[in-house]
Structure 1
Amino acid sequence: MENKYIIFDTHAHYDDDAFDEDREELLKDLKLNGVVGILNCASSYESIEKTYNLTIENDFIYGALGIHPENACEFNEDVEREIVELISKNNKIIAVGEIGLDYYWEENPPKEVQREVFRKQMKLAEELKLPVVIHDRDAHADTLDIIKEFPKVKGIVHCFSGSSEFAKECIKLGYYIGIGGVVTFKNAKKIVEVVKDIPLDKILVETDAPYMAPTPNRGKRNKSDYIQYIIEQIAIIKELDPKEVNIAVNDNFKRLMEKTI
């Protein structure tokens, strides 16, 4: 793929098993192909150490440490202490995440457990003065309520799936909207409306690699250089030059992380 853009992937999971066979080689290729930075987001307890190690081993990988709502039962005081300790000794851990709520799967931890763990990690981010990376699936109202409880905390609502109205509420509270591969799908009417309705200076681009690869690679293992298709689709929706979109989304991420990156 031609290297057209300077890419910062604001959400990926290169600790995932899907990359075990060729992780090192793939990361080298990404660097050669215009990817200047990646925010690797932990999700489970096991992924915290893996994410930390990726930031040590790769100069262009940064980390977010936290427990995903699907794994909320793994969060406890010991895990919280470990996260604090790892952040204190590595300035490349620049956010708390991936945290939030996921009401889609019935087998997920009970909603009240998810909400309690989400609040604890929001409080942790507030204490550490770090932004958060929020996962919100089928939980828009509760996500917004909890965000409002922590007005000092800013961050990203990742893989955004809500309405334009919800996006605007999040933006008012200091959050950026993470746009991924879904925006390139033919049936993606809602997220197209969101991109149309919100200002470019509140948009971030992400892969969620290895998941959610954009068209024309839908169904394949996702990777950070595929962000070019997301940038180009946002440019079409907003009737802008793709290079302008590329510069803007990178500037947005630097602004959010200005104290840490």
Structure 2
Amino acid sequence: MDKRFKECIDQQLQVFDFQLELANQYNKPVVIHSVKQHHLVQQRLKQAKVDRGIVHGFSGNYQQAKSLVDAGMKLGIGGVITRPTAEPTRDAIAKLPLDSIVLETDAPDMPLYGMNSEINSPQYIPHIFKYLVKIRNENASILAEAIWRNSNQVFAIN
């Protein structure tokens, strides 16, 4: 769901609702792209009773984050947290329960601020993790274990 493409919002809703239906039918998690549509996404998740997935590349404030987490989603945390303009997102991440976050890069998009690359890569996960440790003021081992557990929970790996 991407508000930047207003002219096709009806089509986006149709496809999104169908994907939620498929997730329920096959008991699969959803991975959601949401740009300035967090409230609408949260409403649709509740209506469809989908309660397992990730809102990838999360960028938003605490209220938006909490509503998505309350709807059963984990938030994909990536390079956006390294940007100077991401204070609302960092604030949200600091306040959220530990069981609500996973790591991602959104490669090749969302490059890390201050890196000499215009292209993101999975190799930057350790950098994102270091930012996350600082933001949450958590023990790195505890945070790593929680992120691993959260990822396993969403994707039913173990």
- Aligned equivalents of 1:152, 1:144: Cα separation in 2: 10
Q: May I ask how many residue pairs the two structures share in their alignment? A: 158
Out of 126, 133, 139, which is 1:235 matched to?
133
* Letter of the 1:104 counterpart: R
Secondary structure, aligned partner of 2:34: strand
Closer/same/farther in 2, CA of residues 152 and 145 from structure 1, 3 Å limit:
closer
Looking at structure 2, the residues matched to 248 and 218 of structure 1 have their Cα atoms a distance apart, in angstroms, of 30
Distance 1:122 1:231, change over 3 A: same
Q: 1:90 is matched with which residue?
A: none
Q: Distance in 1 between matches of 2:18 and 2:45?
A: 12
Tell me which moved more, 213-222 or 117-126: 213-222
Deviation at 1:216, TM superposition (A): 3.5
CA–CA separation in structure 2 for the residues paired with 1:116 and 1:250:
33
In structure 2, distance between residues paired with 1:236 and 1:242:
9
Structure 2 residue 68 is the aligned partner of structure 1 residue 170: yes
CA contact (8 A) 1:103 1:139 kept: yes
Out of 63, 85, 89, the residue aligned to residue 191 of structure 1 is 89
Gaps of 5+ in 2: none
| CA RMSD after TM alignment | 1.7
The answer to whether the 8 Å contact 1:212/1:222 transfers is yes
| Contact 1:130-1:153 at 8 Å conserved across structures | no
Which residue pairs with 2:13 in the alignment?
115
CA distance in 2, matches of 1:154, 1:237: 25
Q: Which has the larger radius of gyration?
A: 1
The alignment status of 1:154 with 2:48, answered yes or no, reads no
Aligned residue number for residue 80 of structure 2: 182
- Map of 1:84-99 to 2, 5 A cutoff? none
**% identical equivalent positions:** 30
Moved over 3 A (4+): none
Distance in structure 2 (CA, Å) of the matches to 1:144 and 1:218: 36
Once the 2 structures are TM-superposed, how far is the Cα of residue 153 of structure 1 from its aligned partner? 3.9
Asked whether the 8 Å contact 2:23–2:50 carries over to 1, the reply is: no
Q: Secondary structure at the match of 2:4?
A: coil
- Aligned mates of 2:100, 2:94 — CA distance in 1: 12
Describe how 1:1-261 pairs up with structure 2 within 5 A.
Answer: 101-106=1-6, 110-217=8-115, 219-258=117-156
Q: Take 1:246 and 1:178, find their aligned partners in 2: how far apart are those partners?
A: 14
**Unaligned runs of at least 5 residues, structure 1:** 1-100
Tell me which amino acid in the other structure corresponds to 1:138: K
More helix by share: 2
Q: Does the aligned pair in 1 maintain the 2:59–2:86 contact within 8 Å?
A: no
Return closer, same or farther for 1:124/1:179 CA change in 2, 3 Å cut-off.
same
State the match for 1:5 in structure 2.
Answer: none
Report the 3-state secondary structure (helix = DSSP H, G, I; strand = E; otherwise coil) of the residue aligned with 2:74. strand
TM-score, L = length of structure 2: 0.91
Question: Could you state the TM-score of these two structures normalised by the residue count of structure 1?
Answer: 0.57
How far apart, in 2, do the equivalents of 1:243 and 1:118 lie? 36
Q: 2 CA distance for matches of 1:170 and 1:247?
A: 22
Greater strand share, 1 or 2?
1
Q: CA deviation at 1:208?
A: 0.5
